Chain A
Amino acid sequence: MIPDFEYAFYVWTSYGIFAAVIAWQFIQPQLRKRRIEAEVREERALQTGSYE
């Protein structure tokens, strides 16, 4: 299944770094969006006094 490479450590570490950075680029905006939305909701709840 997993191909057996010469220099396997270098190849897999490289691909690992690539995958990790791309994944971070995907996840970080999602987390930030969720945080901003939560803050906006909280602020509005404080103003209107209605917690749903």
Chain B
Amino acid sequence: MIWKTIKVNFHRLGSPPTFYRLAEVLAPWLWGGFAVCAAIGLYQALYVVPPDYQQSDSFRILYIHVPSAWQAMAGYVVMTILAVIALVWRIRTVEIMAMAGAPIGAAFTFICLATGSLWGRPMWGTWWAWDARLTSMLVLLFIYLGIMGLYAAFEDRRKGARVACILILVGIVNIPIIHFSVEWWTTLHQGATIRLFSGESTLHESMMPPLVWMTIAVKLMFGAALLDRARNDLLDQDRRKGWVQSRLGETA
């Protein structure tokens, strides 16, 4: 009985107007949650946590660099799950959500690369190193851009979304291989590789709370931005449909 209710409600989510309304209600709460968590995290990261004894204040970059890197990868996993659902059950709202994840994931990959570069300059003395993590992050950025480009290149939005979903699946098989091969390559070619996170596992307890807050904040933000973008895509594609027309009729 309960199972049936859940199932019916889940299927209702596949209907654009229902999804749109849910996203409209949910997104502001997620943005709000992001703002609260980020405020706490940033305050702790910038004011409470003492400077590192080796890296001084530059280690504070960790609090945005690491959550962004995690989210760049977690975002891809989310997109993969959505892509599988979209390809198997052909639910249009899920296709749109999978596509909405790509620009956000690309944004986090970009933050990760940019802040990593800004961290590397004072610590290693160079903006860029052909380190395994850096290189695979750069490749991930290109995969994200490829997905966005492929989706945008189709005139038929649905077809574009499905084809790009196949690319997402191909990418998830490849990302571990790329990471592994690049790691091998750097250890082969460079001898002593600069390790970005040599201190990560030994991070002192007093340094942990801001990292946790920022990670939660970034996850909430991903969800909020995903819903916002998916909502816009629905609105754009369904602009001639009745539900959009009547919605705008009410608000106008």
Contacts and interface: CB of A to CB of B under 8 A. Distances in A.
Contact of A18 (B115, B232, B245, B248): B115
Interface string B209-252: 00000000000010001001101100110010000110010001
B225 A10 contact: no
Interface residues of A, number: 29
A30 B224 CA distance: 12
Interface string A16-47: 01100110111001101100110111011000
Contacts of B115: 14, 17-18
B92 to A, nearest CB: 17
Given A5-B60, A14-B118, A29 B111 contact: no
B149 interface: no
Contacts of A40: 239, 244-245, 248
B147 interface: no
A11 B104 contact: no
A41 B245 CA distance: 9
Given A21-B110, A25-B221, A11 B57 contact: yes
A52 B228 CA distance: 28
A14 B51 CA distance: 17
Judged by DSSP, the binding face of A is helix
B126 to A, nearest CB: 13
A43 B60 CA distance: 51
Contacts of A41: 248, 252
Contacts of B228: 26, 29-30, 33
B107 interface: yes
Interface of B: 31, 42, 46-47, 51, 56-58, 60-61, 64-65, 68, 104, 107, 110-111, 114-115, 118-119, 121-122, 221, 225, 228-229, 231-232, 235-236, 239, 244-245, 248, 252
